[in-house]
Structure 1
Amino acid sequence: MRIGIMGLGRIGAFHAETLAGLDAVDSLVVTDPVAAAVTSATERFGATPADSPEALLAAGVDGVVIAAATDVHPQLIVAAVKAGVPVFCEKPVARGVTESLEVLRAVEGSGVEVQIGYNRRFDAGCVAARRAVVGGELGDLHTVRSTTLDPAPPPAAYVAASGGIFHDCAVHDFDIVRWVTGREVVEVYATGGNRGADYIKEAGDADTASSLLTLDDGTIAVVSNSRHNARGHDVRLELHGMKDSIAVGLEDKLPLRSVEPGASFPAGVPHTFFMDRFADAYRAELTAFTEVVAGSRTSLCTVADAIEASRIADACTLSLQQHRAVRLDEVRK
């Protein structure tokens, strides 16, 4: 099949490399405002350049991957759907819930599949955790803990356009909590602080945050996030039930040091980057998209799913600003 890629920045170039290595993909068509990025992709992967997203959609692509700036996600998703081309789009759908809902209304009933890029749904550990929950191995859940700690903060320009730590970082935790448990969040309480990187505080954002989520069956989920984890990129998920408890991310590359006498775990070199931690998940995610394009499966993460994660992020942002619990029904749906 012939796959188009719109946007060849860090994640777009990474996706191009992954797609070029998939057996199902015969060729790539690429576009980006930066000519050097297009040249690099054509030289590395034998991709066909396109002058614009419109030209790319007219080039006979079977599916399109959108890895461009968030501001243009809505128009590119809608354009591809109108052209009848299945879409994979990196999160988020749009900068806010209102605009995301406009996208949802535009694509609903089109018959064209849209997959949003929440890669943890394809991480082997998270998949096993969901299977354990669905299979009843844990019994009724009472506590979930989800953690995302970055080794260093992103650049100031990125922070200013990110939508804040809840939309940029914690949203991955919000999505995976929903997906693994199969439950909806009904109320949140969030807090945050600043322990470094003055430009994050100046942007009105927190560099460290925690969120307490109440799910619709009474399960409590605790989400921890930080831009400052010097030991590495730490992503974990714990699920505690009445029958058993399990964890995702407890492996030798866990960036955490035990001080227990005689302890040798974890023994490996810590993860330092999200592309390292989730390399296999990204490959599985894009493999799944090729199957969506081929019509052999449906999207595992829809626009509606992405909107729910954004609503939780909105609620947490409001909670942090107003120092109170916020119910999800206060956030536009």
Structure 2
Amino acid sequence: MKHVAVFGAGRIGRIHAANLAALPGVQVRYVCDPVADSAASLAQSVGAEVVSIDAAFADPAIDVVAITSPTDTHSELIGHAAAARKHIFCEKPIDLSVPRAVACAEAVKAAGVACMIGFQRRFDPTFNAAKERLARGEIGVPEVLIVTSRDPGAPPAQYLKASGGIFRDMLIHDFDVFRWILGDEAAWVSATGSCLVDPEIAEIGDIDTAAVTLRTRSGKLCQINTSRRAAYGYDQRFEVLGSTGLLACGNHRPTELVQMDANGVHSDKPEHFFLQRYRDAYRLEVAHFFECLQTGAPFRTTIEDGVQAQKLADAAAESLKSGQAVVL
């Protein structure tokens, strides 16, 4: 039996805690969150106890910590967990600072504990099927990746102020997909953007619409287009052009029902948001985490993946500011 402490009782913490509690051989023992009502509600739903952060780390019975708290707490909690010799599952990003993210990776390595970063898109059944087909060579050598990533609406400005900006908060997932799907590292990054959705986002120094182009060391190309607004739902697609074919991963819809009548052809809009779109991915990633702890197999997403995605986010932010491409 693995005993887990969950840090963070917000929206994503509730998803992970419920998935953890449903796993055989796993017990969510503690929930830690400064918002007492949220902590108590989540703890009750998974049969856990609300305790302080220090109490959770001090309990030798805790094998694993799940860090699902706000971004600006991640690196500190990773450091505490490494010092306490607890295995770590942490939502992205590691930190908003690349040097601090690197320091976390070094602390984890020195402590000899396992650490997996929550890039859930690698566990989405559709996206993962594309990766498996690429690995089998079904479309030859991948040459171009096109990623579309659009939220149905922008989060509150209060959230965005602490998010690190659109590249570190939103596109970091797409930068991870870029590295994962093309199996190569970026050599060149160019980014541009605008504030077209909400002028308040511009007032806090961020953008809500972006286009990023990357070239890998071997010359493969990637284009990412993203927006904080898609009136029709959560738009998450990519396609890979290979030397002998193409793989296209489309949106998920609540149902696949199609109605055809005199007024046209109608189907459901895409899933509303990431909690619905990636419900299976969130479940599969925590199952993978504990399976790897049990077998010693490598994680599909490591803390080094988190560091590399953060570096790409920083390069994109630098390119946006300077108006010039960044050579890595």
Change in 2 beyond 3 A, CA 1:113/1:272: same
1 CA distance for matches of 2:263 and 2:248? Answer: 22
2:221 aligns with 220
1 CA distance for matches of 2:125 and 2:35? Answer: 35
1 CA distance for matches of 2:254 and 2:144? Answer: 25
1:25 aligns with 2:8: no
Of stretches 30-39 and 100-109 in structure 1, the one that deviates more from structure 2 is 100-109
Of stretches 99-108 and 305-314 in structure 1, the one that deviates more from structure 2 is 99-108
Once the two structures are superposed, the pairs formed by residues 86-97 of structure 1 within 5 Å of their partners are 86-97=87-98
2 CA distance for matches of 1:200 and 1:250? Answer: 27
2:63 aligns with 62
Aligned length: 322
1:301 aligns with 301
Of stretches 152-161 and 74-83 in structure 1, the one that deviates more from structure 2 is 74-83
2:81 aligns with 80
RMSD: 2.1
Q: Deviations over 1:75-134 (max 9, x none)?
A: 211211222211001111111111111112222243211001100111111211111222
TM-score normalised by structure 2 residue count: 0.93
2 CA distance for matches of 1:292 and 1:280? Answer: 18
1:257 aligns with none
1:53 aligns with 53
The letter of the residue matching 1:284 is L
SS for the counterpart of 2:171 is: helix
Change in 2 beyond 3 A, CA 1:158/1:252: closer
**Superposed displacement of residue 24, structure 1:** 2.9
Q: Is there any run of 5+ residues in structure 1 with no aligned partner, and where?
A: 255-260, 329-333
SS for the counterpart of 1:23 is: coil
**Superposed displacement of residue 250, structure 1:** 4.5
1:113 aligns with 114
SS for the counterpart of 1:232 is: coil
SS for the counterpart of 2:145 is: strand
Q: Deviations over 1:157-179 (max 9, x none)?
A: 11111111111111101101101
Q: Is there any run of 5+ residues in structure 2 with no aligned partner, and where?
A: 256-261
Q: Residue 113 of structure 1 contacts residue 292 of structure 1 at CA under 8 Å; is this kept in 2?
A: no
**Superposed displacement of residue 251, structure 1:** 4.7
The letter of the residue matching 1:196 is V
The letter of the residue matching 2:21 is A
TM-score normalised by structure 1 residue count: 0.91
Q: Deviations over 1:218-274 (max 9, x none)?
A: 1110001100111111111110011110111255459xxxxxx99847x23421110
SS for the counterpart of 1:190 is: strand
2 CA distance for matches of 1:217 and 1:74? Answer: 33
Of stretches 207-216 and 96-105 in structure 1, the one that deviates more from structure 2 is 96-105
The letter of the residue matching 2:307 is I
1 CA distance for matches of 2:289 and 2:264? Answer: 42
**Superposed displacement of residue 280, structure 1:** 0.1
**Superposed displacement of residue 296, structure 1:** 4.0
2:268 aligns with 268
SS for the counterpart of 2:111 is: coil
SS for the counterpart of 2:26 is: coil
Once the two structures are superposed, the pairs formed by residues 164-243 of structure 1 within 5 Å of their partners are 164-243=165-244
1:331 aligns with none
1:312 aligns with 2:328: no
**Superposed displacement of residue 305, structure 1:** 0.8
Q: Residue 65 of structure 2 contacts residue 88 of structure 2 at CA under 8 Å; is this kept in 1?
A: yes
2:291 aligns with 291
**Superposed displacement of residue 28, structure 1:** 2.8
Residue identity (%): 38
